[in-house]
Amino acid sequence: MNRFSSKLTGWLALLVGVAGVLAVIALALFFIGLFQNIRSLSSMGGINDKLNAVVGILGAILASVLHPTLGRLAPRLSVVVFICAWLGAIAITYGSWLILTGKGDLELSTYYFFFGNGLIGTWLWALNRKLRQQAEAVMPPSLTRLGLIAGSFMMIGLLGLYGVLLGLDGDDYSPLIMGAGISFLGTGILYPLWCLLLGRWILSK
């Protein structure tokens, strides 16, 4: 069965994209409240953390649904990046749990977030790379190109592994976070956009 013709896959991709957009909106509202001293928006930080975990898990589920398709193109690679996607979802969820329960502070939670999304980015990049190499187009070239760009930016977040391994934590932003933060262009913007466009393309077929 072609997973790219399944309506369920289309709705799942849309769900990942919508959840990703909501996470970014919640984060933006949190910072607006922080800088403008609007206490009513302080809860947006916790909502963002919860949505980050939801996006990570849904992204891993999407990787599971599309795993047979990638498996036919690159059997060994598909297993590696499939595992990466789920490890990424676990890392993101754990990072959210740390900050929500007070077991960790902002810095360590952010490292887990970037690193986890970096792992999901490896799956996204590999999927679009293999689809783009096919003689018969499985997905529109513009969509695979967007997926490659999004995955590339997301993989910058793998730099967060350094902070995770050292257990760096605090309530401020370190130079390492700022560097890994470049990956947010992929994680927060391009990846949700890719999911939304993928879902729309599948459902319009």
pLDDT at residue 36 in the model: 87
Rounded CA separation 147/21 (Å):
16
Q: What is the mean pLDDT of the chain?
A: 91
Size of the chain, expressed as the number of residues it contains: 205
Weakest mean pLDDT among 79-83, 134-138, 139-143, 161-165: 134-138
- pLDDT tens digits, 49-65: 999 999 999 999 999 99
Domain boundaries, the chain: 3-204
Predicted confidence (pLDDT) per residue in 120-152, tens digit:
999 999 999 999 988 566 789 999 999 999 999
Whole-model pTM?
0.93
Q: What is the pLDDT of residues 15-51, one digit of tens each?
A: 999 999 999 999 999 989 988 888 889 899 999 999 9
What Cα–Cα distance (Å) separates residue 155 from each residue in 8, 36, 37, 204? 27, 33, 34, 30
At 171, the pLDDT band (50, 70, 90 cuts) reads low
pLDDT, position 172 = 59
Distance CA 21, CA 14 (A): 11
